[in-house]
Amino acid sequence: MSYGFKKSSMHQQAYNVNLGDQHDLEGHPGGEASLVPGSPGQEAEGWPEIVEYQEEFSEDRAGEDSGKFEEHTIGRRPEGANALWKTLQQNNVMSCTESPLTPTVSKSVSFRINPRNFLLEVQVRAWPGWLLVCHEGWNPALGTWICRHLGHLRLSHHKGVNLTDIKVNSSQEFLQFLPGSGGRLEDMWQHRHSCALGWVVSLKCSECGVQHLTSRIIGGTSAVLGQWPWQVSMFKGPQYLCGGSLLSPSWVVTAAHCVYSLPHMSSLRIFVGIVNRGDIVPHTGAMVEKIILHPLFKIHKQRHDYDIALLKLQTPLNFSNTVQAVCLPEMQQNFPQGSKCWVSGWGSTTSYVEYGSNTLQNALVPLISPELCNSSCTYKGMITPRMLCAGYLDGHTDACQGDSGGPLVCLDRGIWRLVGVVSWGWNCAKPHRPGVYTRVAVFSDWIHHQIRGKGTAAVDEEGGHLLAPLT
């Protein structure tokens, strides 16, 4: 990545993008997922399983103009893939300055878990303040959904707590969940002055987004061990490939363009808990059992749209102070423009180089609004709702080749959340060419669906229905 200089990244052999060589999902037979490598339905021995889900969809594609833009880097992989890129047509010419922040619309229902006693607290728009939840009528499936709503992968523990065992104010108010009481989620919470059974709900979600490092982070330089404990380094044999982020002991999220061509690889390894690449012993990292590409990634002519993939490890990792999971964004959470976030990776520290950094680098980058990043002075309409931009318009800090797949994290009330995945950009740290990241919040449902299976939905916030219990 380039700190005041360029985005960190390693540069390896050239990676030539030939869209004609891609296998369109549209040409695959329907039904079950096809496995790659080998012939459809077959998995080559020793290779990770790559799952490309066949899904029915119809999406209008924007028209293309006949002109070509300057060279741009399709990915942030170390191969330094440069190609001429066509842009989407854009009707509006936007201003090259940020617009004032628009007021945030409050959610109809908000959740939080008290870190001191793990009591669930709910805020409903109709009643002020945070209210405790009565245990009567409680459904564990709702607890699982709430944990996912808060950016955690799973519910670790739930129980009822006797009010006589905790200290509550005499003015404390309560809510009771009644799933059959209305069509909207907020209508399912009924206000109570007391709980009939005298018990309230306590929840504990899977831990994530916690730094056990006590030293202060001062950015734009080398990271220290434990600073970004979810940072993943992906190797193909002795060759550095991409970065990634730990979501749980068994799951890694990265950019789809990092692993798209992996059917021909048998030596993919995942390394965690390191900051110096020299400490890595080839072929000793965690092995990958399955690679799940987003089903819409390959079919788009814009190769960097839907640029996200999940890797399931063969053996769960052991967490420690230097190996931890990062949290996903809360449901419907949007960090405002100007939010100070951090990007990390082993990529190039300057453009047009043949090597990357030996030590994990980190840099502070502010989020840029989609309107500005899509304006005529930046990416001219190429930024889709699945992308976000971060960096500086003067170009002094950025991610670069080799940082691909790595994390862009933002601190939210003491919790680090994975807001973006390093995806693409035009060169590195160039003026008016900020880094482009996969917008993780858009893919939260997809991530939960792949990790936990099809029985994941518990509450539809729009329809307010309590669905089948989650497993």
Asked if residue 148 belongs to a domain, the reply is yes
Asked if residue 230 belongs to a domain, the reply is no
Question: Is 283 marked active-site?
Answer: no
Between 335 and 73, the higher pLDDT residue:
335
| CA pair distance 307, 79, nearest whole angstrom | 17
Whether residue 439 has pLDDT greater than 60: yes
Please compute the mean of the pLDDT values over residues 261-276 and round it to a whole number. 81
Question: Is 108 marked active-site?
Answer: no
| CA pair distance 238, 10, nearest whole angstrom | 13
Whether residue 393 has pLDDT greater than 70: yes
**List 72, 152, 257, 448, catalytic entry:** 257
Asked if residue 229 belongs to a domain, the reply is no
Asked if residue 120 belongs to a domain, the reply is yes
| CA pair distance 224, 231, nearest whole angstrom | 12
pLDDT band of residue 367 (cuts 50, 70, 90) is very high
Give the side-chain half-sphere CA count within 13 A for 421. Answer: 36
Asked if residue 194 belongs to a domain, the reply is yes
**List 305, 307, 398, 403, catalytic entry:** 307
| CA pair distance 236, 269, nearest whole angstrom | 6
Q: At 123, which CATH number? A: 3.10.250.10
Question: Is 66 marked active-site?
Answer: no
pLDDT in tens, 310-356: 999 999 999 999 999 999 999 889 899 999 999 998 875 555 444 56
Asked if residue 326 belongs to a domain, the reply is no
Measured from the Cβ of residue 107, the count of other Cβ atoms closer than 10 Å reads 17
Asked if residue 454 belongs to a domain, the reply is no
| CA pair distance 414, 151, nearest whole angstrom | 13
Q: What angle do CA 169, 171, 174 make, to 5 degrees?
A: 95
**List 8, 245, 351, 404, catalytic entry:** 404
pTM: 0.76
Domain containing residue 171: 109-209
User: Is the distance from CB of 35 to CB of 48 less than 8 angstroms?
Assistant: no
Asked if residue 290 belongs to a domain, the reply is no
- Number of structural domains in the chain: 1
Characterize the bridge pairing of strands 397-398 and 131-133: unpaired
Whether residue 105 has pLDDT greater than 70: no
Please compute the mean of the pLDDT values over residues 123-141 and round it to a whole number. 90
pLDDT in tens, 209-260: 998 875 554 445 788 899 999 999 999 888 889 999 999 999 999 999 999 8
| CA pair distance 154, 446, nearest whole angstrom | 15
Judged on CB neighbours under 10 Å (0-12, 13-18, 19+), 238 is exposed
Type of residue at 227: Q
DSSP, collapsed to helix, strand or coil, labels residue 262 as helix
Both tokens assigned to 73:
């880097």
